[in-house]
Chain A
């Protein structure tokens, strides 16, 4: 397969809706002579325990909207932001709201019955289907034009060391949860381990050859032939290594602060390290899809660096009338928003290698949550905020929907990435297809 064969395919693969086609076709710059398809990337960022609707949703609809306190960090990206209100996780079935909120968030399908019991409702197991990020990754990996070394990367920050319905949102398929990598050093080894290995190898192969020569003098003439043959292989490998040009990624290999342990108080450091690694991996085109999961559903982070001593989940249960708790929750959610803003900033600063503009021009970040609101445990109005121009959505708007199932948003993400599936997750929630009014 060698990419699109006609202009219509090309346009379709760009992920541009049918309505736009006649308009685009008149544009000479997008004529078929320009074979280069732009890269598209999708990042899903997760933070737990719901939000504070009053301090999150802009009052206005449309392009002229003002950020409320929690979203203020996104101010520099106002015209590249899309806030979606009224998108609801309508999936029901087994499991409590936190479990379903997490397990159905990216899968759009019910959990299996199981033995994990939450604070209420029935016990449940894993989700019954694949998550949208993996669905899109599989789609991109099938095509040599969009295939990358890893396809997708699953980042985490302080995810507890246990695999259960609250700690997993990414699924390779039914009953196949994927663990996020929350250790930046482990992620570094995954991304750059081979490169480091090659460097170490290069440094010893010359000595190995000398050693082979030395040992040769100790064996009989007939046996020496074997060691000479061996030396030839080693020499050839050394030459191959020298010929391998690592420069393409070489200058982008980030330097990690050593010795940062997995501890609550290190969350800001860990977050920054993971975001830096993600940006670097995009610049090296290691993957087109990524997820970044802060803690877990029911996450217990204690944000002492914000002067918040209580755990996030504990605070999220307190009533709206508790002004102190509201204030702390605002700071917590705003801190998560700052992480999104930092990611957007890093992407905006990094030029698109081999293309025009910045990484952010070709990346869409979606920030989401397992709940709409912490103290009610509602799955309505899941806080969905998107930044970046990766998917040809019309950015710089605040939109309100009337209780649209979030499956339609997941479908829209797939379509936006060029994967035109008819339904995703539970088809009963896919209504009339992708969420309208995005492009």
Chain B
């Protein structure tokens, strides 16, 4: 038997399990037939107990193990009940097996049924990287960002950058110039000139960014590191236009210094001059940098740690940082060494003394103490100060070597690595707020609020949360949540049949992702931030290229803009062409992928992958069937229907969208049938036709709201919602509804609830003397 069952290429393979995959059962569905639970109570509970805990008289062991549901079903059909084997077979055995597997038998079920608690958690990888960046960054000053888009462009009438030869100083929204044989300005001679663009660039997400510069002249580009150019093409070597590109890793939600210098050489008799600066976002395609990511304001350098951490456990859907490994420990060491050498290399700047600085020893020691305080997110106790700062400086004579020790010790300490091992609740609240909203450590003003006792009441905390929501780090985190909620956070690779969709280019795909981001941004940061609008909107962000592809009339070079579409054709973000293309095969739509996404992701149902992998029936095998008919045919068996009875009727409602997300009336020359249905958890049978019907149901569904609230909570807080009290989920949902489904208010509410929730009661520790004010600047 091959390790990987054969199957057709499934674009969403990784997300949905090793192969696609027809799914076995869901929680009990109320139908005319008895449910698995009903069968269990009738035929099994007398010996095994109502929850499989066992009974003294008949079977004194808990009913748990590692069999799959299918194996259980076979076993039951053959040997259960013990006094009458053969009386629980077929669909009945399947159902009862699925029920008990899901309810208490399996490992997953057992873990779920355990009392949940808030576990000690370390910083997630993302939090670690942000914490280092902000920790070091807190010693640097940054200008307030001007509200201008683009870069400052200075033009010089010589090949150098002397101020007395500067003839032009202006704002350039983008760097894309073709001067040909001419000059940028009447005051500049065309034979020789130089231009310097500088300012900063905002990274909207974390990842690898590629910067490309195209020119036939000389240029140098600095990004983040202001001393060493990222791209150095000052010496042009070889004839013709060159395109130089380099990659750099940036953390999302921050601005980075950027400078580009350019010159046209008279001596080298360069005839023409031109320059274009472009970038390639993580997983994107090369293109111009949108001006709103550029600013003429300066930004300080950011330390982006390069140590490779093992990825966090995401098995529950959010990064759970409650386990550690040797690889993680080694990564923390590597990163600590990296930070230590970075800090010593930039010590003059960070600690505030010159090269000859006479006050160097005192300044370095003061820096070391501040570093420890900001790393621990609270002031040091006397004991800690002695241990972490005084002792290294007393044992090592050279202040730099002592500082290196402090940095290593602090960054290896559990006080830094774990989210909350502090005792002062005010600082814990500050830390929880910051990590919930930013995945980053509390800022200086937040620590000051904690020190001043202004983080006690619910109102105070909520006010801080509201203020913090405006920070770019919060925007980035929320946007990433939405991408995860929509199951497209890890930029899926979407390949389509080239023969069938030749115009579905990588550029179209990248534009689609941008369009989805704009849709999210628009919904989340609009005035009402109404969740329902996200699901119901009849507008779609399109640019010229997308408009052409999706049959909308816009000029070819039109920038992104909202376009109103036929209400009946498209409804909200769930019908966004990017999602429709993602949940589809290379050539055909996939009602199953779409149905699984809707039931699991949007409605919050639990679905388990089946024991067996199936290849979808190919079109060529059934040339006369529509996609819907093929799926129906393949999932007809009873064993499939327990899950596909839910999945398919949801997915079918989106059948008007083909494999690239275009609207269609015909599938395989037959009219599309987009009727579908859903049975709610309360047993109500809902019928819809098409996506508008579906969206209207979902927008009003409390199941959708509950699932959304829980997923948002987990993504933000990274602790189980149930550990925050049995009513928290319901309360948050209620307040969400009451606020008019306001996403921003819900976020503030989640952050407030989580921040004010004390962690598991700690055993009393010896009080340490507190120095009350943080010595921050």
Contact = CB atoms under 8 A, between A and B. Distances in A.
Nearest to B396: A203
A9 B340 CA distance: 48
B762 A218 contact: yes
A245 B761 CA distance: 46
Given A116-B235, A117-B267, A219-B421, A204 B409 contact: yes
A252 interface: no
Given A115-B268, A204-B405, A230-B329, A163 B235 contact: yes
B315 interface: no
A226 B322 contact: yes
A218 to B, nearest CB: 5
B272 to A, nearest CB: 12
Given A113-B239, A212-B414, A215-B421, A123 B405 contact: no
B80 interface: no
Contact of A123 (B269, B322, B401, B763): B269
Interface in A191-250: 193, 197, 200-201, 203-205, 207-208, 211-212, 215, 217-220, 222-223, 226-227, 229-230, 233-234, 236-237
Given A123-B265, A203-B405, A165 B412 contact: no
A114 B237 CA distance: 4
Given A116-B235, A218-B421, A226-B120, A200 B326 contact: no
A197 B408 CA distance: 10
B265 A115 contact: yes
Given A126-B237, A163-B234, A218-B423, A234 B269 contact: no
Contacts of A124: 237
A226 B323 contact: yes
B236 interface: yes
Nearest to B766: A217
Contact of B270 (A115, A193, A222): A115
A175 interface: yes
B463 interface: no
A234 B329 contact: yes
B762 A233 contact: no
A73 to B, nearest CB: 35
A175 B237 contact: yes
A123 B238 CA distance: 11
A175 B762 CA distance: 62
Contacts of B183: none
Contact of B267 (A123, A223, A236): A123
A402 B377 CA distance: 74
A223 B217 contact: no
B572 interface: no
Contacts of B235: 114-116, 125-126, 163-165
A205 B412 CA distance: 8
Contact of A211 (B119, B269, B414): B414
A230 B324 contact: yes
B237 A218 contact: no
B329 A237 contact: yes
Interface in A154-171: 162-165
Interface string B537-579: 0000000000000000000000000000000000000000000
A193 B401 CA distance: 12
B760 interface: yes
Among B326, B337, B412, B415, residue most surrounded by chain A Cβ atoms (within 10 Å):
B412
B491 interface: no
Contacts of A203: 405
B68 interface: no
B232 interface: yes
Contacts of A65: none
A12 B218 CA distance: 47
A114 B263 CA distance: 13
Contacts, number: 121
A286 interface: no
Given A200-B408, A211-B414, A189 B341 contact: yes
B236 A114 contact: yes
Interface in B4-38: none
B337 A112 contact: no
Contacts of A236: 326
Contacts of B267: 117, 123
B404 interface: yes
Contacts of A165: 235
Interface in B201-231: 217-218
A229 B324 CA distance: 8
B120 A113 contact: no
A208 B413 CA distance: 6
A171 to B, nearest CB: 11
A200 B395 CA distance: 12
B500 interface: no
Interface in B739-775: 760-763, 765
A200 B239 CA distance: 51
A229 B421 CA distance: 16
Interface string B224-266: 0000000010111111000000000000000000000000010
A229 B763 CA distance: 20
B765 A218 contact: yes
A112 B415 contact: no
Interface in A377-397: none
A163 B232 contact: yes
Nearest to A175: B237
Contact of B333 (A201, A207, A215): A201
Nearest to A165: B235
A165 B218 CA distance: 14
A117 B237 contact: no
Nearest to A227: B414
A189 B337 CA distance: 13
A197 B239 contact: no
Given A115-B218, A175-B237, A207 B387 contact: yes
Contacts of B341: 189, 193, 197
A114 B238 contact: yes
Contacts of B269: 123
A126 B239 CA distance: 12
A217 B763 contact: yes
Nearest to B322: A226
A193 B344 CA distance: 13
A419 B217 CA distance: 39
Contacts of A189: 341
Given A114-B235, A223-B120, A204 B421 contact: no
Nearest to B236: A115
Nearest to B391: A207
Given A114-B235, A208-B412, A123 B268 contact: yes
Contacts of A217: 763, 765
Nearest to A198: B337
B330 interface: yes
B117 interface: yes
Nearest to B344: A189
B169 to A, nearest CB: 25
B413 to A, nearest CB: 5
A204 B232 contact: no
A112 B324 contact: no
A217 B763 CA distance: 8
B237 to A, nearest CB: 2
Given A164-B234, A218-B762, A234 B405 contact: no
A117 B268 CA distance: 6
Contacts of A193: 341
Contacts of A201: 333, 337, 408
B326 A113 contact: no
Among A111, A123, A165, A208, residue most surrounded by chain B Cβ atoms (within 10 Å):
A208
Given A115-B235, A207-B409, A211-B413, 12 more contacts: A113-B239, A115-B268, A116-B268, A125-B235, A201-B337, A211-B387, A217-B765, A220-B763, A227-B120, A230-B329, A230-B414, A233-B324
8 contacts: A116-B235, A193-B341, A197-B337, A201-B333, A207-B409, A215-B421, A218-B763, A227-B414
Shortest 10 CB-CB contacts between residues of A and residues of B: A125-B237, A117-B267, A223-B120, A123-B268, A233-B329, A115-B268, A115-B236, A126-B237, A112-B237, A204-B409
